Structure 1
Amino acid sequence: MEGTRIKRASFYELVRSFEKSLGYKNDIKWTSFIAITLYHILGVYWCYHYAFPVKWPTLVFAAIMYVASGFGITGGAHRYWTHKAYKAKLPLKLFLMVCFASAGQNSIKQWVRDHRIHHKFSDTEADPHNANRGLFFSHIGWLMMKKNDEVLQAGKQIDMSDIENDVHLQIFEKYFNYIKLVFCYILPTTIGIWLWGEDWRCSVAWQCFIRFLTMFHSELTVNSLAHAYGYKPYNRNIIPAENRFVATCTLGEGWHNYHHAFPFDYKAAEHFDFLNFGTWFIQFFEKIGWAYDLRQATPGMINSIAKRLGDGTPVHFPTSECVE
């Protein structure tokens, strides 16, 4: 027994020394590391054996859930709760909560705090997913590690009073794990089984693994790929860049150089890209009266910033005004 403990301690010391040799400042969060790793391994195994044959309604419903869960993140946690880019009436708030729960993310409070830290201390040691630590860390590695001291101290500087004082969010946060279990896993899986007789194993494959993990990694590309590849028409002095691939798979979140220049803009982009589903949905909810006070940068503001700080890449406006 004693020998086993010594071996285990030696293993952990070896891992920590390896981390330090790479310049890592975070300890591995073993519960998260093991859970994330095993979930991916199980997903590959399960989908290899049970994803096919599949009925066409299952594919359509998986696509619908992909868009809905994505909007819960982009239109909800990101543009609405983090940046307050628009205001929402109660029906839309409840809809955003359900969509966010279906994405299987951390709680809205955790999500908002991490993202506000990211904007305030972007790509520094205080950034939870600092892109200077490499693609793996900024993509998913940061979720497998404990936050370093700089991130923890930065978190104490973030004003979260709007989130903490929101009565609806307080209730949502209290029961979040149960709500997430229902709307991310149980309901999406069982709907296909009940309504069109999909095999339960196939339904699990498409909802719990393919749909969930595809959206999960799509959203993570904003932290990794959009901080590594692309052009910078608005601010050449920051790492975030415009990345069409990321914009496509996240349904509108890849215009990242613009977003960091104008984080308050509800579009998170300077133009109305046809794949920017978050923007289209917010505009739809404005038309039916559920969303209002949509904030956006004017062409004059965009033009001025692009001229002073941009890398010279042409920018595109919904009007005829452009950078000369």
Structure 2
Amino acid sequence: MNRETHLRHGAATPESQIRDDDFDVTYEEKAGPKPPVRLVWRNLILMGLLHAGAAYGVSLLPSASRYTLVWSAFCFIVSALGVTAGAHRLWSHRSYKASLPLRIFLAIANSMAFQNDIYEWARDHRVHHKFSETDADPHNASRGFFFAHIGWLLVRKHPDVIEKGSKLDLADLKADKVVMLQRRFYKPSVLLMCFFTPMFVPWYFWGESVWVSYFVPALLRYTLALNATWLVNSAAHIWGNRPYDSNINPRENKFVTFSAIGEGFHNYHHTFPYDYSTSEFGWKMNLTTCFIDFMHFVGLATDCRKASREVVMARAKRTGDGSHRSG
């Protein structure tokens, strides 16, 4: 992959620090039959109960106050930023640098998202980029929409996923005290941020019933945020155009871009994974980029890496599917 870049807000990052999200062309899937699929019954039951609870939460929407609905939307955005601006763009790809207060906020927001701790999320995501659409990809989209969306969480990981993940250099994550502190106290932080806080605020501050407070801003919001993230793994790897690289599965998907607050420019992202915006279009349908730019404006984010216009255009012309449109 071409690594020529220019920086929007800072100095260049050494080449040796950005190679962990390159696709590994040397990897070969093992010959012979695939390992048997082993269900994780605990996850299967919990996910079934979660989605049943979320469906019930939908039926409670008419009885929820407008403040509760606004609070639910706010919690959705905060938890999404914990994944998009935090676990993904900051810690998985190191596409920008964040000050300690910003890292603390993103870690708290990530606990509200409850999608595994930052360390585990970033490790699996780096494996996903390095071995995309192979047996070593945790949510290999070549196994179908359902597997890429949620099925990968309901079965044991392929041995290659575990093997390749164990060999990644994760020294940067281990050296980040915020990441390791969140990992150490992940379970209580999830109980506090993902379930208790979203439920407590409506009940305490404007008298919403505990029942509605639990099923709408806690359970329904959490389930919607989960599925928004999963759509990046599934829909954005199956449906859409490929203006930057037609040789890879990831696509540009507007619905995913909207639901995942900017993460649906997925063909671009897999072509230029170091770009902090995951898109060449700035704030367009990209709330996460708006957030990072605001954090830079107030001095909490620095060194935001961006693929140059020249590199993007050259790549689109060389390997794209011909659908590229500027702006």
TM-score by length of 1: 0.88
Q: Give a deviation string over 1:152-190, Cα, whole Å, max 9, x none.
A: 111122111111122222221111110111011101110
* 2:79 counterpart residue number: 69
Matched, 1:39 2:67: no
Equivalent residue pairs, number: 295
* 1:228 counterpart residue number: 238
* 1:249 counterpart residue number: 259
For structure 1, list consecutive stretches of 5 or more residues without a partner in the other structure.
1-21, 318-324
Alpha-carbon distance between aligned partners in 1 of 2:172 and 2:91, rounded to the nearest angstrom = 9
| Alpha-carbon shift at residue 273 of structure 1 (Å) | 4.2
**CA contact under 8 A between 1:91 and 1:290: conserved in structure 2?**
yes
Q: Give the secondary-structure state (helix, strand or coil) at the position aligned to 2:87.
A: helix
RMSD: 1.5
Alpha-carbon distance between aligned partners in 1 of 2:264 and 2:304, rounded to the nearest angstrom = 20
Q: Match for 2:302 among 270, 292, 306?
A: 292
* 2:217 counterpart residue number: 207
Q: Give the secondary-structure state (helix, strand or coil) at the position aligned to 2:232.
A: coil
Alpha-carbon distance between aligned partners in 2 of 1:119 and 1:188, rounded to the nearest angstrom = 33
* 1:165 counterpart residue number: 175
Alpha-carbon distance between aligned partners in 2 of 1:197 and 1:24, rounded to the nearest angstrom = 53
Q: Give a deviation string over 1:13-62, Cα, whole Å, max 9, x none.
A: xxxxxxxxx977431111111111122123324543x4431111001111
Q: Give the secondary-structure state (helix, strand or coil) at the position aligned to 1:221.
A: helix
Q: Give a deviation string over 1:255-310, Cα, whole Å, max 9, x none.
A: 00000000000001111243211000000000100000000100011011111100
Q: Give a deviation string over 1:57-113, Cα, whole Å, max 9, x none.
A: 001111111111111100000000000000000110011011111111111111001
Q: Give the secondary-structure state (helix, strand or coil) at the position aligned to 1:26.
A: coil
289-298 or 30-39, which deviates more: 30-39
* 1:147 counterpart residue number: 157
**CA contact under 8 A between 2:195 and 2:219: conserved in structure 1?**
no
The AA in structure 2 aligned to 1:91 is P
Alpha-carbon distance between aligned partners in 2 of 1:46 and 1:72, rounded to the nearest angstrom = 23
Q: Give the secondary-structure state (helix, strand or coil) at the position aligned to 2:307.
A: coil
* 1:15 counterpart residue number: none
TM-score by length of 2: 0.87
Matched, 1:216 2:226: yes
The 3 A distance-change label for structure 1 pair 92 and 294 is: same
* 1:6 counterpart residue number: none
* 2:274 counterpart residue number: 264
Alpha-carbon distance between aligned partners in 2 of 1:24 and 1:207, rounded to the nearest angstrom = 40
The AA in structure 2 aligned to 1:188 is P
The AA in structure 2 aligned to 1:41 is A
The AA in structure 2 aligned to 1:109 is Y
Matched, 1:304 2:314: yes
Q: Percent identity?
A: 39
Q: Match for 2:290 among 274, 280, 303?
A: 280
Alpha-carbon distance between aligned partners in 1 of 2:53 and 2:75, rounded to the nearest angstrom = 21
**CA contact under 8 A between 2:41 and 2:154: conserved in structure 1?**
yes
Q: Give a deviation string over 1:100-139, Cα, whole Å, max 9, x none.
A: 1111111111100110000000001110000000000000
Q: Match for 1:96 among 98, 101, 106?
A: 106
The 3 A distance-change label for structure 1 pair 150 and 25 is: farther
| Alpha-carbon shift at residue 312 of structure 1 (Å) | 0.5
For structure 2, list consecutive stretches of 5 or more residues without a partner in the other structure.
1-32
* 1:124 counterpart residue number: 134
**CA contact under 8 A between 1:52 and 1:202: conserved in structure 2?**
no
